[in-house]
Amino acid sequence: MKRLLASCILGLFAATAAPAAAVTVEKYEVQADKALNVPASAQAKALMPGGFPLGIGSGLHVIGEKDGALLFWTVTDRGPNVDAPKYRSAPEAKPAGAIIFPAPDFTPTIAIIELKGGQAKVTKTLPIKDESGKPISGRPLPKGLVGSTGETPLGLDLGALSTDAQGLDTEGIDVDKDGNLWLCDEYGPFLIKVDAKSGQIMKKYAPGAGLPEVIAKRQANRGFEGLAVTPSGKIVAVVQSVVDVDGKIKESGARFLRMVELDPATGQVRTLGYPHDVEAYKASRDAKLGDLVALSDTRFLVIEQAMGKDKKMRNLIYLVDIAKATDLSGKKAADGTELESVKSEAELKALGVVLAGKKLLVDLRALGWTADKAEGLTLLPDGKSLAVMNDNDFGIAPVVENPAAGADGKAVDSPGDYVVGADKTLTLDGKPTKATVNFEPNNEKSQLWIIRLDEALTGK
């Protein structure tokens, strides 16, 4: 078991030039028994004979202390997957998005992590079941259903797999006052109430069915990423990136990402705007949020992250306040389009729109964070210590084998630059190639960090 203690000085609320605060970081590698590995398909066994390491960390919630151990709920995403070529379903069809699933029958899974005696390990797993009690998969939904991304699931042989009408790409996790688990999902995006003992879905909220219809226009695989239950029992979730309201997401200059607040007791819904660091990215659409933590009914912690325009990864924890934020429900730009079309804060203000306030709390990169994604975040019972987890993508990354040369003569090593059809041959710019797409180990471990601040975050 790896454990590393580190101390550093960090500017607490550095965005407002507050006094520096001492921060202590404890770093753990989360262990999971090999019996919990995800079985590989026949084609994948050559690279992963023992299966894929369990990819926990897509969400995190502290349960509390028991018998000297600190316990956490966590959750996987949709399962082992890697980027794929675009898929052409018929010779005359337009190529569309696809994803390779080397373990296509994997069931998204809830887990418990125990931190005790300097060790962090998975002690329990709970596969998610649909409302009839049948295990779900993480494969995309069929085209035409609410929540469908339009993606085609592919096997390692690049042949099309079946979709799953109950499929979920699970992310954030939290617990309500009755002990029920709440999850969010990137497909729908959905909010899902789950029985904590059986893993069975009790209720699912979808765009147009309890949630705002506009969020169905999320970018593919960028639906809800973080979720929190507030002290009053409201469910708040954040859409990972800018919503693609007009199909022109590459050109988007949107000034905010959407936060959705649901009151399960009344069905009342509000939509609020989180002001991402637009100028830090090459494009507004690049920004991504990670997990969400409720400090009160109006104060939250959120992870904002992505590659900046300076080509450096950003993993930042912000303190967010929605007390004065405008409910965006029903509001439009002056020309009647969605508010994402507004490209200046002045114009939003003129429309009477107030976004959430935020202050920088922790720069994970300044503390030595190296993983691309920080997707799990929770506040410990002492009110001033944070736990953070990464998503290790089940230990794999895509690789293009025998890559073709592009127009510039350089090898094309991005799977999405190719197209594959029913004959399973990859083409580049309409020409057949000998290239294929596989996966390789990414050597990324599941990390759990405990960040101890010297100021309480609660009670303010």
Could you read off the pLDDT of 375-412 as tens digits, one per residue? 999 999 999 999 999 999 999 999 999 999 999 999 99
Q: Say what percent of the chain tops pLDDT 70.
A: 95
Residue 283 CB contacts under 8 Å (≥ 6 apart), including other chains = 250, 252
- Comparing CA positions, the residue from 287, 292, 266 lying closest to residue 276 is 287
Q: Which amino acid is at 447?
A: Q
Distances (CA, A) of 320 to 24, 68, 284, 357: 23, 32, 19, 6
**Mean pLDDT computed over 3-15:** 38
In angstroms, rounded to a whole number, what is the distance separating the alpha carbons of residues 28 and 122? 12
In angstroms, rounded to a whole number, what is the distance separating the alpha carbons of residues 114 and 132? 30
The answer, yes or no, to whether residue 17 has pLDDT greater than 80, is: no
Give the pLDDT of residue 21.
54
Q: Which of 22-26, 177-181, 331-335, 447-451 has the lowest mean pLDDT?
A: 22-26
Label residue 459 by pLDDT band (50, 70, 90).
low
pLDDT in tens, 255-280: 999 999 999 999 999 999 999 999 99
pLDDT in tens, 196-233: 999 999 999 999 999 999 999 999 999 999 999 999 99
The residue to which tokens 């967010």 are assigned: 320
Give the pLDDT of residue 7.
38
CB neighbourhood size of 341 (10 A)? 18
**Mean pLDDT computed over 245-251:** 94
Q: What is the DSSP letter of 54?
A: P
Give the pLDDT of residue 455.
87
Over the Cα atoms of the chain, what is R_g? 22
The answer, yes or no, to whether residue 318 has pLDDT greater than 90, is: yes
* 200: Cα within 13 Å, side-chain hemisphere: 7
The answer, yes or no, to whether residue 458 has pLDDT greater than 90, is: no
Give the pLDDT of residue 239.
98
Label residue 13 by pLDDT band (50, 70, 90).
very low
Q: Which amino acid is at 187?
A: Y
Question: What is this structure's pTM?
Answer: 0.94
**Mean pLDDT computed over 47-76:** 96
Domains of the chain (ranges plus CATH)? Answer: 3-77+105-138+169-392+444-452 (2.115.10)
The answer, yes or no, to whether residue 154 has pLDDT greater than 90, is: yes
pLDDT in tens, 95-133: 999 999 999 999 999 999 999 999 999 999 999 999 999
Q: Chain-wide mean pLDDT for the chain?
A: 93
